[in-house]
């Protein structure tokens, strides 16, 4: 690396890079230049995010002292101005034949974010894929729809690269990736603008194999049994030859799925009440293929070219059978096709260029035969969603003297949405209110600038501001989005962090259609072409104590928040499910996370979040509401080693949520428990895991009873099931021989 000199001409610089035992850069390590004769201090520096350091000095020789908590301190002789890579080793020593490990540093504070060592977390709480590995971070939980941190949703990023893949597709990508491929995860309370996402995020960093010669991989077989059976086989392969790397993955899934819902209502019809109830069972037969091929080439130090293709093919035949006041059979046939290409180039002078393209298609045909009292519905609905999406970004970073960093960049996103729905009655006549076609273009342009500064080893600041234009059929708006992270390392084991973030949440493309989808004789799903994006502003103050205890408080303000809710009109027997914009949905909370252990056999985390929610809407049909509620979320993980000799472990994942609200909904308390028993071979190549998911048979129970409304909905998104997984790992990491999709708005 090169130091920028601002001293006299007699000065010189000493540079290098500090890496850990996994060859990953170590940030915030202390590097001191000492006098070789008497070890007196001459000059010092703290390593940057990429592990590099640069010491300016008038001395031509000496020795370096490199230290970081949890690692053995190293002393390096300095015969020249560059010392190359300095590899640190964990602090381990032996007493009378007993190996004693100093407590490893699992999390570090680095320029306004927290960096977690995934390999060290997995030693305590094992996981098999990258997605599950992230849930081992204290405070991170999977709520079924994605990951949350202390009750708030997070965006997932892989290696800091933007993509047009959706949140769901990024999750699927991480579920296909072996956990052993991860090096670390950066928890960003407020993601800097250079990542092209906003709000709270987790940046997943994979291991850098550049400069090695090896073949690694993982084969996995999975089977799930509830009322029906489902199986999946998947494999992942990494090939590295010097500066060229290739990774490939493929997963095939086949089998049946099962779920159920229950409705109960006392419908306000005129001046009377009509009793309604039904029970619906859903079965589906599914075949899926997920595949990916990625290539990267390291051109020079800090210069790399990446290219990856990700694809998905899904076929599903589903049947919903309803019994009760309404009798109905709904059948559907659907396919999902997704093609995504991501390309990026990083230049040694701090320039990052990237391009991403996604093509998504979702054709579906549905048949409905239902009867409610004297009314029947015999309908056929044919629909297709076609989405083409481009994302282009250019980012530049400058490393300036005295640990200043300047960044700026641009983003352009172009989306074409060509979708339709056609609904016919039993006579083949078209229903106008259930038929529509949209063909419009959406454009998002963004420009940003930001800076970061490591003022000392104790205090760092990172800030950015972005200006964004959103242009669609009905909208042409400009917004300003600031972000800020300020971190104070009180000492080696205590820190304070304050963050401010802002973002926009866009509605799904299908929810802005103008048509009605009849899911039964009673239930109707309405599109809303007037649905507009919502803004989110978040403030967070976090205190981490001794790297085991995390406490914090936060406020989230979201004007124009939108969500789908039920409405019972009084002039006919139907329930309308529709997404509408609130005035706002505001959230405030306090949280705590504790990591604990008891000897060699017990480890775990406990998470608790207290929430105050305030939802207000003046425009939900003729039912304005202004509601407030307090709720509690408890969760965690427990890992108990049942046998040291045979490497058998029991893992429990409990989750509890007290009563809550969402708009007009009251959400009942529920408790969910997942459990697993795992065995790993002595050489680490084989793992067998037997699990039970939702063993408590928990479900979502909601009730709307504002004004004249009386509607209950119970949903079992996952019924109790048993799983069996077998994993075989190929290859082993070798030391270096030389130096080295957005479908979140797609679907129904």
DSSP reduced 3-state for 182: strand
- Taking residues 290-308, what's their average pLDDT? 92
DSSP reduced 3-state for 194: helix
What DSSP line would sit under 341-370, residue for residue? EEEEEE-TTSEEEEEEEEEEEEEEEEEEEE
Q: What is the pLDDT of residue 3?
A: 54
- Taking residues 281-294, what's their average pLDDT? 96
- Taking residues 483-500, what's their average pLDDT? 86
Pairwise CA distance, residues 272 & 706, whole Å: 17
Residue 412 tokens read as 């352009």
pLDDT tens digits, 390-415? 999 999 999 888 878 999 999 999 99
Confidence of residue 11 (pLDDT cuts 50, 70, 90): low
pLDDT tens digits, 161-205? 888 887 787 888 888 888 888 888 988 888 888 888 888 889 998
Q: What is the pLDDT of residue 281?
A: 95
Q: What is the pLDDT of residue 171?
A: 85
- Taking residues 505-525, what's their average pLDDT? 89
What value does the mean pLDDT of the chain take? 87
Q: What is the pLDDT of residue 335?
A: 95
Q: What is the pLDDT of residue 33?
A: 85
Confidence of residue 6 (pLDDT cuts 50, 70, 90): very low
Q: Is the pLDDT of residue 541 over 90?
A: yes
CB 109 within 8 A of CB 116: no
pLDDT tens digits, 90-126? 765 433 333 334 455 677 776 667 888 888 888 888 8
Q: What is the pLDDT of residue 403?
A: 79
Q: What is the pLDDT of residue 734?
A: 44
Q: What is the pLDDT of residue 178?
A: 86
Pairwise CA distance, residues 340 & 360, whole Å: 9
Q: What percent of the chain has pLDDT over 70?
A: 92
Domains and CATH numbers, the chain: 12-93 (2.60.40.4130), 212-268+284-450+465-732 (2.40.170.20)
Q: Which residue has the higher pLDDT, 517 or 96?
A: 517
CB 17 within 8 A of CB 29: no
Backbone angles phi, psi at 91, to 5 degrees: -80, 100
Q: Is the pLDDT of residue 28 over 50?
A: yes
Q: Is the pLDDT of residue 469 over 80?
A: yes
DSSP reduced 3-state for 433: helix
94: exposed, middle or buried (Cβ count in 10 Å: 0-12, 13-18, 19+): exposed
Task: Give how far Cα 99 sits from Cα of 91, 94, 96, 428, Å.
Answer: 11, 5, 8, 78
Task: Give how far Cα 384 sits from Cα of 366, 488, 665, Å.
Answer: 12, 52, 31
Q: What is the largest CA-CA distance in the chain?
A: 99
Q: What is the pLDDT of residue 49?
A: 65
Q: Is the pLDDT of residue 10 over 60?
A: no
Residue 295 tokens read as 């290539």
Show the CA angle centred on residue 635, arms to residues 632 and 638, nearest 5°: 160
**Which one-letter DSSP state was computed for residue 52?**
E
CB 68 within 8 A of CB 88: yes
Q: What is the pLDDT of residue 744?
A: 55
Q: What is the pLDDT of residue 708?
A: 93
- Taking residues 241-261, what's their average pLDDT? 94
Q: Which residue has the higher pLDDT, 127 or 82?
A: 127
Task: Give how far Cα 599 sits from Cα of 209, 455, 549, 603, 640, Å.
Answer: 35, 39, 18, 8, 10
The radius of gyration computed from the CA coordinates of the chain, to the nearest angstrom, equals 28
539 closest CA partner among 611, 594, 587: 587
């Amino acid at each position: 690396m090169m130091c920028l000199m601002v001293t006299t001409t007699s000065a010189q610089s000493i540079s290098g890079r500090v890496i850990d035992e996994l060859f990953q850069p170590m940030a915030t390590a202390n590097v001191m230049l000492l006098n070789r004769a008497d070890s007196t201090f001459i000059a010092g520096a703290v390593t940057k995010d990429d592990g590099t350091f640069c010491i300016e000095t008038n001395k031509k020789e000496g020795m370096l002292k490199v230290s970081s908590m949890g690692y053995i301190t190293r002393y390096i002789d300095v015969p020249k101005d560059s010392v190359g890579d300095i590899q640190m080793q964990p602090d381990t020593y032996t007493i009378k034949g007993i190996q004693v490990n100093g407590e490893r540093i699992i999390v570090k504070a680095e320029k306004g974010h927290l960096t977690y060592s995934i390999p060290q977390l997995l030693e305590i709480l094992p996981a098999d894929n990258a997605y599950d590995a992230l849930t081992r971070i204290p405070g991170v939980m999977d709520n079924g729809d994605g990951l949350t941190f202390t009750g708030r949703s997070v965006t997932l990023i892989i290696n800091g690269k933007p993509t047009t893949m959706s949140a769901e597709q990024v999750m699927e990508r991480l579920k296909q990736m072996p956990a052993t491929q991860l090096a670390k995860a950066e928890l960003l309370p407020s993601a800097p603008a250079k990542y092209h996402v906003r709000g709270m995020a987790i940046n997943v960093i994979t291991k850098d194999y550049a400069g090695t010669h090896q073949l690694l991989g993982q084969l996995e077989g999975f089977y799930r049994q509830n009322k029906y059976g489902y199986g999946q086989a998947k494999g992942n392969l990494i090939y590295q030859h010097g500066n060229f790397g290739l990774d490939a993955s493929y997963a095939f899934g086949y089998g049946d799925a099962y779920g159920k819902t229950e409705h109960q209502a006392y419908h306000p019809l005129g001046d009377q009440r009509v009793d309604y109830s039904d029970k619906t069972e859903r079965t589906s037969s599914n075949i899926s293929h997920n595949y990916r091929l990625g290539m990267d080439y390291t051109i020079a130090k800090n210069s790399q070219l990446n290219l990856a293709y990700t694809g998905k093919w899904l076929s599903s035949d589903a049947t919903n059978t309803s019994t009760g006041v309404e009798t109905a059979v709904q059948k559907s046939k659907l396919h999902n096709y997704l093609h995504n290409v991501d390309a990026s180039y990083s230049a040694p002078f701090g320039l990052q260029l990237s391009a991403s393209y996604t093509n998504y298609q979702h054709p579906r045909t549905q048949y409905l035969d239902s009867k409610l009292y004297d009314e029947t519905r015999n309908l056929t609905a044919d629909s297709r969603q076609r989405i083409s999406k481009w994302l282009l970004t250019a980012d530049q970073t400058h490393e300036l003297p005295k640990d200043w960093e300047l960044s700026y960049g641009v983003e352009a996103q172009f989306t074409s949405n060509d979708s339709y729905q056609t609904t016919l009655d039993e006579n083949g006549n078209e229903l106008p209110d259930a038929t529509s076609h949209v063909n419009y273009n959406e454009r998002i342009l963004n420009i940003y600038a930001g800076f970061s500064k490591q003022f000392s080893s104790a205090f760092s600041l990172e800030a950015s501001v972005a200006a964004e234009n959103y242009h669609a059929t009905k909208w042409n708006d400009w917004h300003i989005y600031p972000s800020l992270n300020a971190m104070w390392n009180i000492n080696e084991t205590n820190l304070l962090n304050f963050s401010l973030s802002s973002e926009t949440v866009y509605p799904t493309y299908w929810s802005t259609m103008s048509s009605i989808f009849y899911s039964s004789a009673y239930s109707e799903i309405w599109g809303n072409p007037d649905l507009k994006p919502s803004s989110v502003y978040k403030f967070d103050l976090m205190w981490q104590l001794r790297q085991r205890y995390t406490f914090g408080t936060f406020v989230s303000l979201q004007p124009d928040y939108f969500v789908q809710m039920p409405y019972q009109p009084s002039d006919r027997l139907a329930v309308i499910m529709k997404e509408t914009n609130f005035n706002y949905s505001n959230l405030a909370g306090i949280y705590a996370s504790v990591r604990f252990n008891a000897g060699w056999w017990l480890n775990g985390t406990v998470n608790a979040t207290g929430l105050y929610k305030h939802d207000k809407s003046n425009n939900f049909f003729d039912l304005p509401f202004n509601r407030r509620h307090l709720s509690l979320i408890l969760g965690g993980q427990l890992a108990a080693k049942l046998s040291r000799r045979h490497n058998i472990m029991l893992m429990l994942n409990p989750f509890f949520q007290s009563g809550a609200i969402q708009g007009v909904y009251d959400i009942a308390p529920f408790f969910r428990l997942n459990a697993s028993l795992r065995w790993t071979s002595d050489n680490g190549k084989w793992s067998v895991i037997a699990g039970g998911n939702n063993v408590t048979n928990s479900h979502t129970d909601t009730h709307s009873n504002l004004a004249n409304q009386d509607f209950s909905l119970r949903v079992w998104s996952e019924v109790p099931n048993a799983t069996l997984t077998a994993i075989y790992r190929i290859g082993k990491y070798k030391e270096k021989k030389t130096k080295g999709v957005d479908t979140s708005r797609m679907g129904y």
